[in-house]
Amino acid sequence: MWVFNPQLLSAQGFSLQEVFKKLNERYNFAKPPKHPLDVDPKTSALTFLLGTFTNSAKKPLNVSLNIFNNGITAETTSSTNDATEFLEDVTSLMTREFGFQLPSDLNKAYLSQLTVELDASLSIVNPKLQVISKMLSADAKALDGKARQFEVGAVNFWSEDVGASLAPSICRIERKWGVPFTSNQYFSIAPLETKQHLKLIGELEKLLRES
Protein backbone atom coordinates (compact mmCIF):
# COMPACT_ATOMS: atom_id res chain seq x y z
CA MET A 1 0.00 0.00 0.00
CA TRP A 2 1.14 3.53 -0.80
CA VAL A 3 -0.20 5.93 1.82
CA PHE A 4 -1.08 9.46 0.73
CA ASN A 5 -4.21 11.51 0.10
CA PRO A 6 -5.73 10.58 -3.29
CA GLN A 7 -8.13 13.52 -2.91
CA LEU A 8 -5.19 15.67 -3.99
CA LEU A 9 -6.08 14.53 -7.50
CA SER A 10 -9.61 15.93 -7.42
CA ALA A 11 -8.45 18.94 -5.39
CA GLN A 12 -6.43 20.01 -8.42
CA GLY A 13 -9.58 20.09 -10.53
CA PHE A 14 -9.17 16.75 -12.31
CA SER A 15 -12.30 14.89 -13.40
CA LEU A 16 -12.29 11.49 -11.72
CA GLN A 17 -14.41 10.16 -14.57
CA GLU A 18 -11.60 11.10 -16.95
CA VAL A 19 -9.06 9.48 -14.62
CA PHE A 20 -11.12 6.27 -14.63
CA LYS A 21 -11.28 6.40 -18.42
CA LYS A 22 -7.50 6.70 -18.78
CA LEU A 23 -6.86 3.89 -16.29
CA ASN A 24 -9.25 1.58 -18.09
CA GLU A 25 -7.81 2.43 -21.50
CA ARG A 26 -4.34 1.45 -20.33
CA TYR A 27 -5.08 -1.61 -18.19
CA ASN A 28 -8.42 -2.83 -19.58
CA PHE A 29 -9.97 -3.72 -16.23
CA ALA A 30 -12.74 -6.30 -16.37
CA LYS A 31 -14.67 -4.41 -13.70
CA PRO A 32 -13.79 -0.75 -13.12
CA PRO A 33 -15.91 1.60 -10.96
CA LYS A 34 -18.88 3.03 -12.85
CA HIS A 35 -18.52 6.45 -11.19
CA PRO A 36 -16.69 8.11 -8.25
CA LEU A 37 -19.39 6.98 -5.78
CA ASP A 38 -19.22 3.33 -6.87
CA VAL A 39 -17.20 2.16 -3.86
CA ASP A 40 -16.85 -1.38 -2.56
CA PRO A 41 -19.32 -1.73 0.35
CA LYS A 42 -16.87 -3.82 2.38
CA THR A 43 -13.69 -1.78 1.95
CA SER A 44 -15.05 1.67 0.96
CA ALA A 45 -12.49 1.65 -1.86
CA LEU A 46 -12.82 2.42 -5.54
CA THR A 47 -11.91 -0.97 -6.96
CA PHE A 48 -10.56 -1.74 -10.43
CA LEU A 49 -10.64 -5.52 -10.87
CA LEU A 50 -8.71 -7.84 -13.15
CA GLY A 51 -6.76 -5.62 -15.49
CA THR A 52 -3.64 -6.43 -17.51
CA PHE A 53 -0.21 -4.89 -16.93
CA THR A 54 2.95 -5.83 -18.83
CA ASN A 55 5.97 -5.62 -16.55
CA SER A 56 9.57 -4.72 -17.43
CA ALA A 57 10.23 -8.38 -18.26
CA LYS A 58 7.52 -8.15 -20.96
CA LYS A 59 5.28 -10.51 -19.02
CA PRO A 60 1.53 -9.72 -19.02
CA LEU A 61 0.11 -9.88 -15.50
CA ASN A 62 -3.34 -9.83 -13.95
CA VAL A 63 -3.60 -6.78 -11.71
CA SER A 64 -6.18 -5.03 -9.55
CA LEU A 65 -6.10 -1.49 -8.17
CA ASN A 66 -7.83 -0.10 -5.09
CA ILE A 67 -8.13 3.60 -4.27
CA PHE A 68 -8.83 4.31 -0.59
CA ASN A 69 -9.28 7.64 1.16
CA ASN A 70 -5.72 7.36 2.50
CA GLY A 71 -3.82 5.70 -0.33
CA ILE A 72 -3.76 3.11 -3.10
CA THR A 73 -3.03 -0.60 -3.25
CA ALA A 74 -2.18 -2.99 -6.06
CA GLU A 75 -2.73 -6.74 -6.21
CA THR A 76 -0.98 -9.25 -8.45
CA THR A 77 -0.63 -13.02 -8.45
CA SER A 78 3.12 -12.82 -9.03
CA SER A 79 5.18 -10.70 -6.59
CA THR A 80 5.30 -7.46 -4.65
CA ASN A 81 7.97 -6.27 -7.11
CA ASP A 82 5.41 -6.50 -9.91
CA ALA A 83 2.80 -4.76 -7.74
CA THR A 84 5.24 -1.93 -7.09
CA GLU A 85 6.08 -1.67 -10.79
CA PHE A 86 2.36 -1.50 -11.58
CA LEU A 87 1.77 1.31 -9.06
CA GLU A 88 4.74 3.19 -10.49
CA ASP A 89 3.18 2.84 -13.94
CA VAL A 90 -0.20 4.06 -12.63
CA THR A 91 1.30 7.15 -11.01
CA SER A 92 3.43 7.83 -14.09
CA LEU A 93 0.24 7.77 -16.16
CA MET A 94 -1.39 10.23 -13.75
CA THR A 95 1.62 12.52 -13.96
CA ARG A 96 1.78 12.33 -17.74
CA GLU A 97 -1.93 12.85 -18.34
CA PHE A 98 -2.90 15.11 -15.45
CA GLY A 99 0.30 16.53 -13.97
CA PHE A 100 -0.29 14.71 -10.68
CA GLN A 101 2.73 14.47 -8.37
CA LEU A 102 3.12 12.05 -5.47
CA PRO A 103 3.84 13.72 -2.12
CA SER A 104 7.42 13.53 -0.83
CA ASP A 105 6.28 11.92 2.45
CA LEU A 106 4.89 8.81 0.75
CA ASN A 107 4.82 5.74 3.01
CA LYS A 108 4.82 2.20 1.61
CA ALA A 109 3.78 -1.15 3.08
CA TYR A 110 3.63 -4.65 1.62
CA LEU A 111 1.58 -7.81 1.99
CA SER A 112 2.88 -11.07 0.53
CA GLN A 113 1.01 -14.39 0.27
CA LEU A 114 2.76 -17.66 -0.52
CA THR A 115 1.90 -21.35 -0.74
CA VAL A 116 4.95 -23.46 0.10
CA GLU A 117 6.02 -27.02 0.84
CA LEU A 118 8.29 -27.26 3.87
CA ASP A 119 10.91 -29.90 4.55
CA ALA A 120 9.35 -30.90 7.88
CA SER A 121 6.26 -30.50 10.04
CA LEU A 122 5.64 -27.17 11.74
CA SER A 123 5.07 -29.04 15.02
CA ILE A 124 8.84 -29.60 15.30
CA VAL A 125 9.30 -25.92 16.17
CA ASN A 126 8.10 -26.67 19.71
CA PRO A 127 8.02 -30.41 20.50
CA LYS A 128 6.44 -29.69 23.90
CA LEU A 129 3.18 -28.89 22.13
CA GLN A 130 2.92 -32.54 21.09
CA VAL A 131 1.37 -33.15 24.52
CA ILE A 132 -1.57 -30.95 23.53
CA SER A 133 -1.81 -32.56 20.08
CA LYS A 134 -1.99 -36.03 21.66
CA MET A 135 -4.67 -34.92 24.15
CA LEU A 136 -6.81 -33.54 21.33
CA SER A 137 -6.30 -36.64 19.19
CA ALA A 138 -7.38 -38.84 22.10
CA ASP A 139 -10.29 -36.83 23.47
CA ALA A 140 -11.84 -34.75 20.66
CA LYS A 141 -15.13 -36.14 19.35
CA ALA A 142 -16.26 -35.90 15.72
CA LEU A 143 -19.86 -36.20 14.55
CA ASP A 144 -19.00 -39.25 12.43
CA GLY A 145 -17.47 -41.02 15.43
CA LYS A 146 -14.07 -41.42 13.77
CA ALA A 147 -10.84 -40.52 15.54
CA ARG A 148 -8.80 -37.60 14.23
CA GLN A 149 -5.11 -36.76 14.39
CA PHE A 150 -4.30 -33.24 15.58
CA GLU A 151 -1.08 -31.33 14.97
CA VAL A 152 0.08 -27.74 15.30
CA GLY A 153 -1.80 -25.91 12.57
CA ALA A 154 -0.27 -22.45 12.52
CA VAL A 155 2.26 -20.02 13.90
CA ASN A 156 1.33 -16.33 14.10
CA PHE A 157 3.34 -13.19 14.75
CA TRP A 158 1.95 -9.68 15.13
CA SER A 159 2.90 -6.23 16.29
CA GLU A 160 1.71 -4.81 19.60
CA ASP A 161 -0.73 -2.49 17.82
CA VAL A 162 -2.27 -5.25 15.70
CA GLY A 163 -5.66 -4.22 14.33
CA ALA A 164 -4.96 -0.51 14.63
CA SER A 165 -5.24 1.77 11.63
CA LEU A 166 -2.13 1.50 9.43
CA ALA A 167 -0.61 -1.25 11.64
CA PRO A 168 1.26 -3.96 9.71
CA SER A 169 -0.55 -7.16 8.85
CA ILE A 170 0.02 -10.24 10.96
CA CYS A 171 2.52 -12.84 9.81
CA ARG A 172 0.94 -16.28 9.64
CA ILE A 173 2.26 -19.67 8.58
CA GLU A 174 -0.45 -22.32 8.57
CA ARG A 175 -1.14 -25.74 7.15
CA LYS A 176 -3.18 -25.83 3.97
CA TRP A 177 -6.65 -27.10 4.65
CA GLY A 178 -7.83 -30.36 3.12
CA VAL A 179 -4.41 -31.90 2.40
CA PRO A 180 -2.63 -34.70 4.33
CA PHE A 181 -0.28 -33.63 7.13
CA THR A 182 2.49 -35.60 5.43
CA SER A 183 2.42 -33.23 2.46
CA ASN A 184 3.76 -30.39 4.65
CA GLN A 185 2.00 -27.83 2.46
CA TYR A 186 1.55 -24.42 4.04
CA PHE A 187 0.01 -21.05 3.33
CA SER A 188 1.79 -17.97 4.59
CA ILE A 189 0.99 -14.29 4.73
CA ALA A 190 3.44 -11.61 5.87
CA PRO A 191 3.84 -7.81 5.83
CA LEU A 192 6.95 -8.16 3.68
CA GLU A 193 8.13 -7.90 0.11
CA THR A 194 8.08 -11.26 -1.68
CA LYS A 195 11.86 -11.70 -1.56
CA GLN A 196 11.89 -10.99 2.19
CA HIS A 197 8.98 -13.37 2.71
CA LEU A 198 10.84 -16.15 0.91
CA LYS A 199 13.88 -15.46 3.08
CA LEU A 200 11.71 -15.77 6.20
CA ILE A 201 10.34 -19.13 5.01
CA GLY A 202 13.92 -20.23 4.35
CA GLU A 203 14.88 -19.36 7.93
CA LEU A 204 11.90 -21.34 9.21
CA GLU A 205 12.95 -24.38 7.18
CA LYS A 206 16.45 -24.04 8.62
CA LEU A 207 15.00 -24.09 12.15
CA LEU A 208 12.92 -27.17 11.33
CA ARG A 209 15.95 -29.03 9.96
CA GLU A 210 18.00 -28.18 13.05
CA SER A 211 15.28 -29.27 15.50
Contacts of 125 (CB under 8 A, 6+ apart): 152, 155, 204, 207, 208, 211
Of 43, 74, 108, which residue is a domain's last? 108
Same structural domain, 131 and 170: yes
Mean pLDDT over 187-198 rounds to 98
Percent of the chain with pLDDT over 90: 76
Give the pLDDT band (50/70/90) at residue 101.
confident
Mean pLDDT over 73-86 rounds to 97
Give the count of beta carbons closer than 10 Å to the beta carbon of residue 76: 19
CB 201 within 8 A of CB 114: yes
Same structural domain, 186 and 101: no
Per-residue pLDDT reduced to its tens digit, 10-63: 545 667 889 899 999 999 999 999 998 999 999 999 999 999 999 999 999 999
Residue 88 lies in domain: 2-108
What is the model's pTM?
0.88
How many residues would you count in the chain? 211
Same structural domain, 20 and 33: yes
Of 47, 76, 108, which residue is a domain's last? 108
Q: What is the pLDDT of residue 100?
A: 81
Same structural domain, 132 and 193: yes
Of 76, 108, 140, which residue is a domain's last? 108
Same structural domain, 134 and 158: yes
Instruction: Please tell me the total count of domains within the chain.
Output: 2
Per-residue pLDDT reduced to its tens digit, 59-75: 999 999 999 988 899 99
Same structural domain, 95 and 118: no
